[in-house]
């Protein structure tokens, strides 16, 4: 692996950022937003080099299972750092930073050999919008867990520990549904562009992705409707968000996992 030193640096920084944020939420150390963001930014910068050397090779895209997972978590981490500059989102790094580190470890141990040919600008637009949508909705999934935990604790009058560190519940919920709304908008663009630029979205090698993506779109749309008309929040919102995110992950990684782990075809 040509970018091995950068991968190691990214792993160390991701784990350090995630660990400090976890300790801060547990009130074991003081919150250090600048420190966590700086570590995250350094990790993302090093991860960028890894992505450049592992995914964008020659005239094609190297999109094996762990290359795709690394690209996906890099995008999540980059969006998390960027959005945290204007929104109180850094707490989601507790789960997302270690996940990015884990995909880098997997990439180091199990590189693959799948290369896809050049793609048209329309396909590039589809890939970018679907990737950013999935990343935003994955961040929303972690945010939903935090909101549900905070809502449960406040209902039971548990006001110590992590509750004292998190922003106000109304702010947390507002941010959650802003993430879901933005992610759903991009997912809609990805689905529409897929029908426009891809010859047959229901071909055998694409049908599972199409079905899972459409199912996820329905879940997130239903959640926003339920939020607006029925006031859904807390555990219900968490379940719907996690369900929609799981559908997206299964749609993208399901076949890759089967081929990589069972048939060794990637």
Residues of the chain with pLDDT under 70: 1, 58-60, 113-119, 159-161, 201-205, 254-266
pLDDT at residue number 172 = 93
pLDDT at residue number 2 = 74
The pTM of this model reads 0.87
Dist. CA 190–CA 196, nearest whole Å: 10
User: From start to end of 97-209, where are the E strands?
Assistant: 115-116
Q: What is the DSSP string of 75-108?
A: HHHHHHHHHTTTSS-GGGHHHHHHHHHHHHHHHH
pLDDT at residue number 266 = 44
Among residues 226, 132, 128, 234, the alpha carbon closest in space to that of 182 is found at: 132
Contact 241, 209 (CB under 8 A): no
Dist. CA 72–CA 67, nearest whole Å: 9
Neighbours of 164 (CB within 10 A): 9
Angle at 59 between CA 53 and CA 63, to 5 degrees: 55
Dist. CA 247–CA 219, nearest whole Å: 9
Neighbours of 46 (CB within 10 A): 22
pLDDT at residue number 265 = 47
Contact 62, 114 (CB under 8 A): yes
- Span 66-86, pLDDT tens digits: 888 999 999 999 999 999 999
pLDDT at residue number 95 = 93
The alpha carbons of the chain give a radius of gyration, in whole angstroms, of 19
Dist. CA 120–CA 3, nearest whole Å: 28
Among residues 36, 133, 21, the alpha carbon closest in space to that of 75 is found at: 133
Among residues 104, 11, 116, the alpha carbon closest in space to that of 51 is found at: 104
Among residues 143, 211, 145, 151, the alpha carbon closest in space to that of 181 is found at: 143
């Amino acid at each position: 692996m040509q970018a091995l030193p950068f991968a190691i640096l990214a792993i160390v920084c991701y784990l350090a950022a995630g660990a400090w944020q976890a300790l801060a939420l547990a009130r074991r150390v003081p919150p250090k937003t600048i420190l966590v963001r700086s570590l995250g930014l350094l990790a993302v910068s090093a991860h960028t080099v890894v992505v450049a050397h592992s995914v964008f090779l020659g005239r094609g895209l190297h999109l094996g299972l762990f290359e795709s997972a690394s690209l996906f978590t890099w995008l999540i981490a980059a969006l998390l750092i960027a959005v945290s500059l204007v929104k109180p989102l850094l707490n989601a790094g507790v789960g997302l930073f270690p996940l990015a580190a884990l995909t880098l470890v997997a990439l180091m141990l199990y590189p693959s050999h799948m290369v896809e040919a050049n793609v048209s600008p329309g396909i590039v637009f589809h890939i970018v919008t679907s990737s950013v949508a999935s990343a935003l909705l994955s961040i929303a999934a972690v945010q939903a867990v935090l909101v549900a935990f905070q809502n449960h604790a406040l209902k039971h009058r548990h006001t110590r520990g992590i509750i004292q560190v998190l922003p106000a519940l109304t702010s947390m919920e507002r941010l959650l549904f802003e993430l879901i709304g933005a992610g759903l908008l991009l997912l809609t663009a990805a689905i529409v562009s897929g029908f426009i630029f891809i010859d047959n979205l229901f071909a055998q090698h694409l049908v599972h992705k199409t079905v899972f993506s459409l199912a996820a779109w329905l879940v997130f749309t239903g959640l926003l409707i339920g939020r607006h008309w029925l006031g859904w929040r807390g555990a219900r919102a968490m379940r719907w968000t996690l369900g929609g995110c799981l559908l997206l992950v299964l749609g993208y990684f399901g076949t890759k996992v089967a081929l990589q782990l069972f048939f060794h075809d990637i």
